[in-house]
């Protein structure tokens, strides 16, 4: 688990039966050794929240930088999207924003909206200033999978992310 990334906060959510060693990684946030069809394999997980995922796709950082480095170094590459997402009534991509995330991010966030419940709310995901259709999001994910060999993992909370990492 790379301690330089925000993923170090997930350490307490990874099952205690999994041995976690903090170390600087050249690429990815988590790396591990597993059993593949022909023996030992090395794999890595890049962890992203939806806003960073969309930004890194738009500026090319994820597909042209991070994924390429991970593909050279590891046998298997995973992307863990750590947010709850859904499709809105008009076909737009939406993300669940817990109330505490609004407080931490302040008023400048693209997800900010004064109308949210005590627990949180669904907000339109807008990379830049435009509305992103649900189908466009999945086209990006499918392209990363086919062209980049990236397998998508999803988790809606730190607890779920820790369990997904522990299961990998």
Quote the pLDDT of residue 11. Answer: 79
Neighbours of 99 (CB within 10 A): 12
Quote the pLDDT of residue 110. Answer: 45
Quote the pLDDT of residue 9. Answer: 75
Quote the pLDDT of residue 139. Answer: 93
Quote the pLDDT of residue 115. Answer: 45
- Angle ∠(14,19,22) on CA atoms, nearest 5: 85
End-to-end CA distance of the chain: 13
Quote the pLDDT of residue 100. Answer: 64
Helix (H/G/I), strand (E/B), else coil: 147? helix
Average pLDDT per 10 consecutive residues for the chain, totaling 168 residues: 76 84 90 92 93 86 88 95 93 85 45 51 80 91 92 90 89
Helix (H/G/I), strand (E/B), else coil: 140? helix
Quote the pLDDT of residue 6. Answer: 67
Quote the pLDDT of residue 120. Answer: 79
Given a contact cutoff of 8 angstroms between Cβ atoms, the answer to whether 30 and 2 are in contact is yes
Helix (H/G/I), strand (E/B), else coil: 59? coil
């Amino acid at each position: 688990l790379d301690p330089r990334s925000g993923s170090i906060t997930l350490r307490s959510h990874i099952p205690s039966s999994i041995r976690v060693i903090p170390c600087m990684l050249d690429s990815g946030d988590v790396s591990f050794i597993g059993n593949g069809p022909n023996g030992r394999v090395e794999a890595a997980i890049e962890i992203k929240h939806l806003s960073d995922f969309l930004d890194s796709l738009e500026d090319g950082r994820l597909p042209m930088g991070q994924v390429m480095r991970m593909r050279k170094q590891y046998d298997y590459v995973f992307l863990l999207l750590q947010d709850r997402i859904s499709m809105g009534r008009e076909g737009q991509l939406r993300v669940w924003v817990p109330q505490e995330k609004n407080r931490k991010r302040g008023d400048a966030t693209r997800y900010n909206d004064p109308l949210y419940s005590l627990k949180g709310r669904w907000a339109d995901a807008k990379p830049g200033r435009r509305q992103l259709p649900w189908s466009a999001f999945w086209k990006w994910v499918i392209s990363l999978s086919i062209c980049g060999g990236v397998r998508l993992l999803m988790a809606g909370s730190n607890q779920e992310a820790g369990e997904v990492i522990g299961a990998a």
